[in-house]
Amino acid sequence: MDMTRIEKDSLGTRTLPADAYYGIHTQRASENFKISQQTLHPLLIKNMVKIKKAAAIVHQQNNELDDRKANAIIAACNDILAGKLANQFIIDAIQGGAGTSANMNVNEVIANRSLEILGEPLGNYTCINPNDHVNRSQSTNDVFPTAGKMAILELLLGLENALQLLSKTLKQKSLEFKDVLKVGRTQLQDALPTSLGRSFGAYQQVIEREYQRIIAIKSELTTVNLGGTAIGTSMNASQYYLTQVVPTLNQSFFTPLKQAEDLIDATQNLDSFMQVSSRLKGIATTISKLSNDLRLMSSGPQAGFTEIQLPAKQVGSSIMPGKINPVIPEVVSQVAFQVIGNDLTATFAVESGQLELNAFEPILFQNILSSIDLLTNAIQTLSINAIQDITANESYCLESVMHSDIMITALTPYLSYATAANLIKEARQKRCSVRDLAFKYKLLPVAQLEHLFSIDSLISNPDKMAI
């Protein structure tokens, strides 16, 4: 029994497996684009299928597809949306052709599954054709970017949840550590006393801002160019389809999409994707800075800052017994490096579009979707595997402050600059604390010194912190 079938296009013929649901265009693309060894993001495929289903529903309503064909296409789409035939989407994520191969892979799989539903042999495109029926009134140039925006919107839900979890976890730590006095540093040098709670409160605030920025950028993604077909002029799309396809698509999507007022603009300009990528880079930068701080504050444990203790997640060395490394902050920073690099690629992809179309959407979507996945996973592991179980080395932090030169700052409003400088000089020479010398020489009344050197005074009353 022959296990292959022959398909033909304007370039010639190709032999395909007889049971393949993809067709000749997909076969050629799989031969041409052996690039990343990564296939299209599942959400990109899923949302292209949703668009095909919505188009078939509209065409059936407008008698542009008969019930037999339309129902078969809709049923095929439902099968794929239910998780069937996932192994038939074989196109490399990085591809030439502005996403045409991705679109055709979807068209061909839907067409052949529709044929199977109707009892027809796979590849019998005279009955249901990938281009004429599944892709009717569409172009890669409006299907692919619309599916890209839908995939991003859907994936951002997980990132939003991860950011909220991180914000909540940091808030809990800011309250837990509100009375932990520590050395505040500028340029890595001892500066002023602060509290560990305030440090974590500041981290929580910046994460909350990153969350709000992601919420704000989503509105740009809900405007789509579906219905514009090839260049935004809606060539080959009926007026009924043009007005009904987005409302129909909205019936199967979690947030309302709206058709762009200027479809030509929406087809050629990808600035909304650039804005998303930029915000992802911002989040990456923020969490990497946070991770760097955690590594510094936990450094040691004997010869470092030793202000906090990260949870021990795994043995840190193959040669040094007992060594525990800050592996979670380390992996988060590596994710940040990748996301920042992805943003640079996205920048080039957006900039390189020419005239009525941008041909570089495949790498753009691959990088943005990858960045969202990476950030979501990294932020979750930072919250769960690091921050929620951080403990404070409270006594060590207090001792570091009390024996630090920064205590002189509490006295400077009451002493001359020269007196304060001389006090620090003597403290360093005698290897004692400024605090001890202040009491020894009775530079101020004892009660006043005790107040100035109290924890509440040094950190400006932590109970009133805005955390």
Which sequence positions are flagged as catalytic? 317
Q: Show the 3-state SS of the chain.
A: CCCEEEEEECCEEEEEECCCCCCHHHHHHHHHCCCCCCECCHHHHHHHHHHHHHHHHHHHHCCCCCHHHHHHHHHHHHHHHCCCCHHHCCCECCCCCCCHHHHHHHHHHHHHHHHHHCCCCCCCCCCCCHHHHHCCCCCHHHHHHHHHHHHHHHHHHHHHHHHHHHHHHHHHHHHHCCCCEEEEEECCEEEEEEEHHHHHHHHHHHHHHHHHHHHHHHHHHCEECCCCCCCCCCCCCCHHHHHHHHHHHHCCCCCCCEECCCHHHHHHCCHHHHHHHHHHHHHHHHHHHHHHHHHHHCCCCCCCCCCEECCCCCCCCCCCCCCCCCHHHHHHHHHHHHHHHHHHHHHHHHHCCECCECCCHHHHHHHHHHHHHHHHHHHHHHHHHCHHHCEECHHHHHHHHHCCHHHHHHCCCCCCHHHHHHHHHHHHHHCCCHHHHHHHCCCCCHHHHHHHCCHHHHCCCHHHCCC
Quick check: 144 and 361 in contact, CB under 8 A? yes
Residues 6+ apart with CB under 8 A from 142: 224, 225, 226, 227, 228, 229, 230, 232, 263, 267
- Rounded to whole angstroms, what are the CA distances from 183 to 188, 191, 194, 196, 307? 10, 7, 6, 9, 9
Q: How many residues in the chain?
A: 467
Radius of gyration of the chain (CA): 31
